[in-house]
Chains A and B, each alone.
Chain A
Amino acid sequence: MKKVLLSLLLVSIIFLLFADRGNAIPAFARKHSFNCNMCHTAYPKLNDFGQRFRDNGYQIPGQVGGEKSIFATSPPIAIRALPGYDIYKTECCKMNSFHIFGVDILAAGVFHENLSFLFIYTPRIDEPAADYTGPQDGLNPRQLASVESANVVFSNVIDNKLNFRVGRFEPSYLPFSAKRSYYLFSPYEIYDFATPMNTFIVGDNQLGIEAAGHFKSGFKYAVGFMNGNNGNPDNNNNKDIYFRLLKTFGRGDGQSAGQRIGIFGIYGMQPTSFYGSIVSPFGETDGFINKQFYRIGLDASINWSTLNFQFLYMIGKDDKALNTLRPTEDYEYSGGFAQIDWAVMKNNRLVLSLLYNWVFPPDYDEQGKLKTYSVLGRYYLGNWEAVNVALHLEYTYKGRTICRFREDIIGMVIDFAF
């Protein structure tokens, strides 16, 4: 309860401080006096310009050296919150509730030419079980307290052919950002799929270091080392590695214009034994008998007028030693998603989208098998300088083959960020 109060206090203090400033946040838009659509096709999805801005270490490309540092701007802090209401239905029951579906506190900016940072903190949200006082404090929190991102970007080390990102960040092997998806109730399921004994989750922000760059020919690459243990200290002494390669066609980067295709791969090791392993004062362990796993995939993003079609297919394999369900076989699965986004009204005020997700685990893990169909509409009340308020309506049908279990989710959210 105290924590909730503290968070609330924090949010309201920030709100009050900025309320009369006229020009409020998202850190970058406010810094530059831009509307959100400068970088977002529609918040939070980035357009080509926003993607280039991000790739350039949060500096306007071609204007490097002419960026106000964080010391020359008002506080580079932004907040996003998702208050709303949901209806949840399964074959047996139906429930509904008001919620705070998520809160992010963000800070970002440029320290110095080609040296910038991004910081995202998600406070713990204990609802709907805030008053629960059982053995597990705050049962089933909506959101865990977490430093979702804290990374420093060294950009343009060799032009934009070499840039580094260090810390916790969203790794570039993800062709479509999980954090900047329009969908609030239907994640990219294949990103979040957990295999029997592997702690690695594709869609999570990772701790590590990444090098990335692009070339005039339209090629972009990224390679990185990471713990591969999501936001946690590593559980073995092997660092996992990954790469991403993409090629753009036509003008634009395939985000909001032009087309792009790409491939990605992750190769890592997971311990199968912790027997006698040591935990350091910093939380890492030296887990033993490390066994390999990999994920590879391909993706495409195609733009036509204000339509954006996105496709991803991925397969994953864990060594049989990691397969607690059937230790004689490697655990293999596949899945992906296809999504169409359509910016309908002037200045992308209304966005409609369809999303289809599928995950096919091996037969003996049938309950993981999943198909989801989602549709959403987001209407942006205004496109004010550095403020965004969107009305979000989303419907998801989740079908699991096992017992023909189905879930229907309707979510209504006021998504605001400033």
Chain B
Amino acid sequence: MRRELLSIMLLLCIIVFVVSAEEKPPRKAPPLPDVAVHSLGPQKLAPLPPVPVPPDNPQTPMKILLGKQLYFDTRLSADNNESCASCHDPAMGWSDKGPTSVGIKSQVGPRRAPPVSNSAYMPLQFWDGRADTLEEQAKGPIINPKEMGNTHEKMLETLNSIPGYVEEFETVFGKIPIDLDQVAKAIAAYERTIVTTDSPFDRYAKGDKTALTPLEAQGLEIFNGKGHCTACHWGPNFTDGRFHNLGAKNKEPMEDDLGRYAVTKNDKDKRAFKTPTVRDVASRPPYLHNGSEQTLWDLVEFYNRGGGDDDSNMDPLMVPLGLTKGEMEALVAFMKVAVTSNNPEVANEKPIPPDEFPK
């Protein structure tokens, strides 16, 4: 009798569970890169949803074009030599040849340029997450002495002296003189169009089971299983947007980079860096924040060893994976081909020819 009661109660519990947890209505695309969504923990690998757009910076075709011009315009830098594209070059997977980025007067920066593609989905910007939005982020490189080496005042002076830009800004924002927020908003609007879609993986996830070769499909299985990759590289953009220490330390003479710690001053964040997207990763070697792994194969070997140098602060998710050579090949095949996008507007984006900039 007791047992029957127990069974009935269990059954009731299960029914209540099942009914109360009826398939939740699909989450609407959040209006902002929603840190709350990321704080919910791992989500399925999937095609990217529509890009989140902040309400105070709606996308318009004119604004996007203006942003594109600014993005490729070297006149934003102090020596008229650097543009955003110098380090975030569409031909190099929206990154640069590395290992770390080289800015004004050939100064070598301490970190690698992350791809601008899909950065619109990142809940926080930079390797250490010190900027919340693309708008805030875009103001940074212009005045970074090792990047474009300018001042905001001088950059605005330059832009305000170019009648073509003044006219465009007036049409887009209805207000002149050009100010810093406008510049940032325009660049951010352009960046929100740099979204990589239509990779074999996306087609596979939408149901075309022929989109991946058997080897790539094995790679996906390992990515989401034995390789533990989706423990951090999850969701449509293959990233948790959080910070982890993989033990990829800088070697002498480069100084130690404390990563996220610089922002939070929390010891647990020492040498932790933001998880980058894995989308289109084949087009932008070398890898990691300091460009220390040359190829995808090297990187997979790095993970298979359980990460880089022993570090008391190593992420607890880093364990040797026991991947065999064949499994590593499958994983590399997956990352080489399966997550490489084919949408032409992003894959074939060309810099603006010099004579087409506003004069």
Chain A residues packing against B (C-beta within 8 Å): 2-3, 6-7, 9-10, 13-14, 17, 21, 23, 31-38, 47-49, 52, 56, 60-63, 65-68, 72-77, 105, 121, 123-124, 145, 160, 216, 250-253, 256-258, 303, 305-306, 343, 346-348, 383, 385
Q: Is the CB of B230 within 8 A of A105?
A: no
- Of B43, B45, B317, chain A has the most CB atoms within 10 Å of the CB of B317
Write 5 A-B pairs (CB below 8 A) sorted by A numbering: A3-B7, A10-B11, A68-B40, A306-B322, A347-B225
The one of A6, A33, A76 in contact with B230, judged by C-beta atoms closer than 8 angstroms, is: A33
Q: Which residues of A contact B54 (CB under 8 A)?
A: none
The one of A145, A252, A343, A383 in contact with B319, judged by C-beta atoms closer than 8 angstroms, is: A252
Q: Is the CB of A257 within 8 A of B321?
A: yes
0 or 1 for each of B221-241: is its CB under 8 Å from A? (1 = yes): 110111010110010000010
Which residue of chain A lies nearest to B40 when distances are taken between CB atoms in the complex? A68
Q: Is the CB of B225 within 8 A of A34?
A: yes
Q: A257 to B8: give the CA distance in the assembly, Å.
A: 43
0 or 1 for each of B313-332: is its CB under 8 Å from A? (1 = yes): 00111111110101100100
Q: Is the CB of A35 within 8 A of B306?
A: no
Which residue of chain A lies nearest to B327 when distances are taken between CB atoms in the complex? A346
Q: Is the CB of A32 within 8 A of B42?
A: yes
Interface residues of B in 75-90 (CB under 8 A from A): none
Quick one: given A62-B317, A251-B319, A305-B322, are A35 and B7 in contact (CB under 8 Å)? Answer: no
B249 within 8 A of A: no
Chain B residues packing against A (C-beta within 8 Å): 3-4, 6-8, 10-11, 14-15, 17-18, 21, 23, 38-45, 218, 221-222, 224-226, 228, 230-231, 234, 240, 242, 244, 305-307, 312, 315-322, 324, 326-327, 330
Q: Is the CB of A61 within 8 A of B317?
A: yes
Q: Is the CB of B242 within 8 A of A66?
A: yes
Which residue of chain B lies nearest to A2 when distances are taken between CB atoms in the complex? B4
Q: Is the CB of B3 within 8 A of A3?
A: yes
Q: Is the CB of A347 within 8 A of B242?
A: no
Q: Which 4 pairs from chain A and chain B are nearest by CB?
A: A37-B225, A35-B225, A61-B316, A257-B320
Quick one: given A35-B221, A38-B228, A63-B242, are A14 and B14 in contact (CB under 8 Å)? Answer: yes
Main secondary structure of the interface of B (DSSP, over half): loop
Q: A37 to B225: give the CA distance in the assembly, Å.
A: 5
- 6 additional A-B pairs beyond A33-B42, A63-B240, beta carbons within 8 Å, are A3-B4, A21-B23, A56-B316, A67-B41, A77-B17, A347-B225
- Of A37, A62, A73, A348, chain B has the most CB atoms within 10 Å of the CB of A62
Q: Which residues of A contact B307 (CB under 8 A)?
A: 251
Q: A289 to B7: give the CA distance in the assembly, Å.
A: 38
Q: Is the CB of B3 within 8 A of A145?
A: yes
Q: Is the CB of A348 within 8 A of B40?
A: no
Q: A10 to B4: give the CA distance in the assembly, Å.
A: 12
Q: Which residues of A contact B224 (CB under 8 A)?
A: 33-35, 38, 385
The one of A34, A62, A74 in contact with B316, judged by C-beta atoms closer than 8 angstroms, is: A62
Nearest-Cβ distance from residue B256 to partner chain A, whole angstroms: 19
Nearest-Cβ distance from residue A91 to partner chain B, whole angstroms: 38
Nearest-Cβ distance from residue A159 to partner chain B, whole angstroms: 9
Nearest-Cβ distance from residue B323 to partner chain A, whole angstroms: 9
Q: A77 to B20: give the CA distance in the assembly, Å.
A: 13
